[in-house]
Amino acid sequence: MTEHVRLPVVDERGKGSLRTDGSRVSIVPADVKGRFATARKVAFAVLIGVYAVMPFVRIHGHPALLLDIAHRQFFLFGQTFNAQDTWLVFFLLTGVGFTLVVAAAVIGRVWCGWACPQTVFLDGVFRRIERWIEGPRNTHLRRDAGPMSFDKLWRKLLKHSIFLVLAVLLSHLLLAYFVTLPGVLTFVKGPPAEHLEAFIWTTAFTVILYLDFAWFREQLCLIICPYGRLQAVLSDTDTITIGYDAKRGEPRGKASDKDAGACVDCGRCVVVCPSGIDIRNGQQLDCTGCTACVDACDEVMTQLSRPVGLVRHDSLNGLLGRAKRILRPRLYLYAALLVAGIVAASIAVASHQPFEANMLRLRGMPYLLATSPAGVATIRNDLEIHLVNKQNDPRTFTLRPVSPAGVAMDYALRSRSITLPSLAEQRVPLFVTLPESAYRRHLLVQVDVTMEGEFPETQHAHAPFIGPH
């Protein structure tokens, strides 16, 4: 019998998953039923369905969500972006960040307990499989504490084999968000040597996911994830979190004890906690807001014919019987930042161009002096138009010279129309020759580029014409 397994059952229950010396306590949460447990199951099923189905969904012929980093092409729900649009990621990330900040200030760690992929897959898949193979908490802990046996061995082997297969599937699902589903199938069918980079990434993700869900578990939330640690800064005494009503619950005692509070010290709220903490000790960094202790205590209170809600969603002020506030200065500040972020992101997305047409100068001399066959002194600028089709489908672009008016512009093209596939780019050399007598300073070369289609769009590509004066 090892101390590692025995202690959490007896001495260390409710003290979290880390001992003061840094060693790990194995947490095996007990089963819990209730309204939040049911709602979480539904939420997990929906989210897992979304994660699994997304690579199959196509919009305008492209995956609904694809981050093709190798080719620097990004497809987000019908919108197409390329490497030049990377700056939009800043607005996207800050928008998500501010949303989480506001959510954390109002309703605590609802993201952690209900929607974070770590929680969704750990509680919604891996722990359920573990419960199915290893049995309920006490059976599981008793077997773990006992000597090695055939019964113990086959359960461990089966559990970890399933975990490994799931980790392989999840890593391939993850890969589909970066290389498309047909891309993943091609990798799977071919030998690893032909797709070494993808093979290494998938293997690395498989190992990471397996270790995380089979072993590391709640430690990821506690040690690695910065969001949980930010809670202490983002929340205040009016933030709704999971809390224990000590005014009503204390002093703890038997149900038959008339002088005792509502808490019968049954420990149900502790043994169901996937972080291994005792919520009666107050708000703790380890609490992910999973609501298991709420359901567990409600069940106990219902059996005792007492009002539910001894452990409940409430603010610290609410639990202490003080006046509650929803609107408060920090919320105004966070909301203002969120609104500013949404406005900035909206402007950024609205200014996202359907195509790019930039006039660039070719390498070499800024201008060339020559004499035409007719004996006229001329100045030539060598430029190019860089065209990028950012649409989901092939588009035709028409180039129309605008200024300097009446000046020879030679395109290295057979026609002034060019058709580009989706996200393709092309550089169109442009040689502009001007009689020296017509040259003046601040002369602008401009070519209008029109993307043809039902709703044609025109951009003005321009660059200064450079001469000797």
Shortest distance, position 314 Cβ to ligand SF4, whole Å? 12
Shortest distance, position 279 Cβ to ligand SF4, whole Å? 4
CB of 277 or CB of 451, closer to ligand SF4:
277
Rounded Cα distance between 212 and 164, Å, is 11
CB of 134 or CB of 218, closer to ligand SF4:
218
CB of 183 or CB of 274, closer to ligand SF4:
274
3-state DSSP call for residue 227? helix
CB of 266 or CB of 362, closer to ligand SF4:
266
Shortest distance, position 290 Cβ to ligand SF4, whole Å? 3
CB of 85 or CB of 245, closer to ligand SF4:
245
CB of 261 or CB of 354, closer to ligand SF4:
261
Rounded Cα distance between 418 and 451, Å, is 10
Rounded Cα distance between 164 and 124, Å, is 16
Shortest distance, position 265 Cβ to ligand SF4, whole Å? 5
Rounded Cα distance between 63 and 46, Å, is 20
CB of 137 or CB of 386, closer to ligand SF4:
137
Closest CA to 188 of 205, 207, 169: 169
334-341 long-range contacts, Cβ below 8 Å, gap at least 24?
A: 334/98, 334/101, 334/102, 334/105, 334/234, 335/102, 337/98, 337/101, 338/95, 338/98, 338/99, 338/101, 338/102, 341/91, 341/94, 341/95, 341/98
Token reading at 208: 């990471």
Shortest distance, position 25 Cβ to ligand SF4, whole Å? 14
Shortest distance, position 291 Cβ to ligand SF4, whole Å? 5
CB of 134 or CB of 299, closer to ligand SF4:
299
3-state DSSP call for residue 306? coil
What string of DSSP letters covers 75-103? EETTEEEEGGGTHHHHHHHHHHHHHHHHH
CB of 311 or CB of 359, closer to ligand SF4:
311
Rounded Cα distance between 272 and 27, Å, is 10
The angle, 0 to 180 degrees and rounded to 10, between the axes of the packed helices 196-211 and 150-179 is 140
Rounded Cα distance between 400 and 349, Å, is 28
Shortest distance, position 213 Cβ to ligand SF4, whole Å? 17
Shortest distance, position 214 Cβ to ligand SF4, whole Å? 20
Rounded Cα distance between 387 and 425, Å, is 5
Count of all residues that appear for the chain in the document: 469
Shortest distance, position 244 Cβ to ligand SF4, whole Å? 6
Token reading at 271: 């043994």
CB of 140 or CB of 280, closer to ligand SF4:
280
Binding site for ligand SF4 (CB under 6 A): 242, 244, 249, 263-269, 272-275, 277, 279-280, 287-293, 296-297, 300, 310-311
Token reading at 405: 């008016």
Shortest distance, position 132 Cβ to ligand SF4, whole Å? 21
Specify burial of residue 296 (Cβ count, 10 A radius: 0-12, 13-18, 19+). Answer: buried
Shortest distance, position 3 Cβ to ligand SF4, whole Å? 23
Phi, psi of 13 (to 5 degrees): -60, 130
Q: Which amino acid is at 228?
A: G
